[in-house]
Structure 1
Amino acid sequence: MKLIECPRDAMQGLTDFIPTATKIDYLNALLRVGFDTLDFGSFVSPKAIPQLRDTAEVLAGLDLSATQTKLLAIVANLRGAETAASYPEIKYLGFPLSVSETFQRRNTNQSTPEALADVAAMHELCERNGKVLVVYLSMGFGNPYGDAWSPEIVTDFTQQLAAMGVRVVALSDTVGASTAATITPLFSALIPAFPGIEFGAHLHTTPSTWHEKVAAAYQAGCRRFDGALGGYGGCPMAADELTGNMATENLLDFAAQAGVELGLNLEALGEASALNHAIFR
């Protein structure tokens, strides 16, 4: 079971700017915990996401000397991908490809065909630079816009990604629309159908529904989960009222119940949690 910690997702919708030094301290604490991957920042327009306008400065302050955690940066277009790919410290580039045309335009100002063309170019860019592209299938469990959604549509998107050679695809809830009844059949169908792809679950949730969502994905074969300490965050491009990220604490509880040993540094986790409370409360 891989845990991807997503402080970028937690921070991006906050109105008050978090000082760069505070971000660096928090991310360095998270790096000491031992998560598989840290979704630490994004190379997008500072007008779109002003909170993360200092991602390059934050990256320069990270201590990667004693961690196995890999860095992931979100990008919204090919120019951002080229910037992210220029940093040797970054392993993964993440791009939100939406199953909903409406949300694709809201999130990256692109049509679906334009976004797919960018994905192909980003994948080639990553291959040339020793990076790995992670495609987040946003609105992967439905959308609030009335755009067409079905398991077959999600499968068609995945087929196109597989044809490009994309190796990591995270089904993303975005607005908390998923239920066990939608999560289970999607992962159960996709995982055996595309053995060359590692599937992840980026689930947004309410406190009362987290367990059934994680259990549905895990029992269907998913082993890659995104979370954020405290369950903070949500996509500011999706709605005015944000549905929080899957709380990392809940993922840790689930792993313990399932008998999965994650090998995390619990002392460092406590330090990171204290910093989290100071930032978000």
Structure 2
Amino acid sequence: MSQTQAFPNATRGETRTVQIREVGPRDGFQNEPETIATPDKIRLIDALGRAGFKRIEVASFVRPDVIPQLSDGIEVLRGIDLPDDVDRMVLIPNSRGLDNALAVRDLFEEATLFVSASQTHNTKNINRSVEETMADVAVMGKRIVAEDLTLCAVIATSFGCPYEGPVPMDRVLDLAEQFAAAGATEIGFGDTTGMCNPAYSRAFFEAAIERLPGIEVTAHFHNTRGQGLANAYAALEAGCRSFESSFGELGGCPVPKGSTGNIATEDLVSMFHEMGVDTGLDLAAVIEAAREAQSTLGRKLTSHSIVAGPVTWYPAS
């Protein structure tokens, strides 16, 4: 049986291609309770670079006392050795963080700004209202674009808030339009505490793609309630072609407790490959990087592919 044999009717007569950005080195590492040594971070990121990723979220310019795990971001950026065609992405929380980032402008190509669609979550996460955050976004966006950096945006709690419950779709898409006006060329929608379901995922991404022409729309799902891959599949069927995930299923939201990790990159890649969807990634290399992370952290990670390995044959059509 051919290893490239896809599931029946999976591609509807066309080859679909998706882009997956790896966010584990930032979104994943930040939730680890034990300090990860800088050389270990560099080694793991370099392993991800060899797997074929074109974009990796490497660091964050948050205050070191807020997230000590990421306090070595500049050292990591200086130490990694990625292929020339891999963009390095950093997360920027506010104008002060942007000042610090631009002091080492040559170390990255993409900058991400973020907000929570929920007032309560935004306040608990960064101690500012949504309106205050978006006012800062308008200023930061101009500075980032002027530096010839790619401006990306992430809207957390896009699919529900653990404090406020349902978040209206129009509120999320209104924020997305504000980011686009600030210069963002990509907008990610985060299921920060795993509250989405496949039916809503499909409806949401159909609406987002229609409302944001010319913007790269990205799906960022967490697997808190076991629906992460199903939500990603629903987003794919809605037309989404950009995804974020974390090797080893690392990550989770710092607030509130109990919000488990992002969907595992290796599980997402495995699903797409079995469906005949091209990711451009070496699945075996992604799994190996996740196993390295598991060994480095000294605990069992929750990815399925770490245990099972890649599928070596696919059902015939």
TM-score strictly above 0.5: yes
Tell me how far apart the structure 1 counterparts of residues 170 and 291 of structure 2 sit (CA, whole Å).
43
Correspondences of 1:239-250 after superposition (within 5 Å): 239-250=256-267
User: Does the 8 A contact of 1:31 with 1:67 survive in 2?
Assistant: no
Q: Tell me which of the two structures has the higher relative contact order, counting C-alpha pairs closer than 8 angstroms and 6 or more residues apart.
A: 2
1:172-225 deviations in Å (ceiling 9; x for gaps)? 011001111221111101102211211101110147423311111111111111
The equivalent of 2:296 in structure 1 is 279
Q: Structure 1: which amino acid aligns with 2:101?
A: A
How many residue pairs end up in the alignment? 279
Q: Sequence identity of aligned pairs in percent?
A: 35
User: Does the 8 A contact of 1:35 with 1:69 survive in 2?
Assistant: yes
Give the structure-2-normalised TM-score.
0.83
Deviation (angstroms), 1:162: 2.6
The equivalent of 1:197 in structure 2 is 215
Give the structure-1-normalised TM-score.
0.93
User: Does the 8 A contact of 2:35 with 2:69 survive in 1?
Assistant: yes
Deviation (angstroms), 1:47: 1.1
1:19-43 deviations in Å (ceiling 9; x for gaps)? 1111111111111111121111111
Is the aligned partner of 1:213 residue 2:231? yes
4+ residue runs over 6 A deviation: none
Selected match of 1:90 from 101, 105, 108: 108
The equivalent of 1:146 in structure 2 is 164
Tell me how far apart the structure 2 counterparts of residues 147 and 112 of structure 1 sit (CA, whole Å).
17
The equivalent of 2:133 in structure 1 is 115
Which is higher, the Rg of structure 1 or of structure 2? 2
Deviation (angstroms), 1:268: 3.8
Q: Structure 1: which amino acid aligns with 2:89?
A: L
Deviation (angstroms), 1:148: 6.4
SS at match of 2:244: strand
Q: Structure 1: which amino acid aligns with 2:203?
A: P
The equivalent of 2:71 in structure 1 is 53
Provide structure 2 residue ranges, at least 5 long, that are not aligned to the other structure.
Answer: 1-17, 300-317
Deviation (angstroms), 1:100: 0.6
Deviation (angstroms), 1:270: 4.7
Tell me how far apart the structure 1 counterparts of residues 286 and 166 of structure 2 sit (CA, whole Å).
41
Tell me how far apart the structure 2 counterparts of residues 220 and 46 of structure 1 sit (CA, whole Å).
39
Q: Choose 43-52 or 263-272, whichever is displaced more.
A: 263-272
1:224-249 deviations in Å (ceiling 9; x for gaps)? 1111111111121x212122111111
The equivalent of 1:104 in structure 2 is 122
Deviation (angstroms), 1:44: 0.4
Is the aligned partner of 1:256 residue 2:256? no
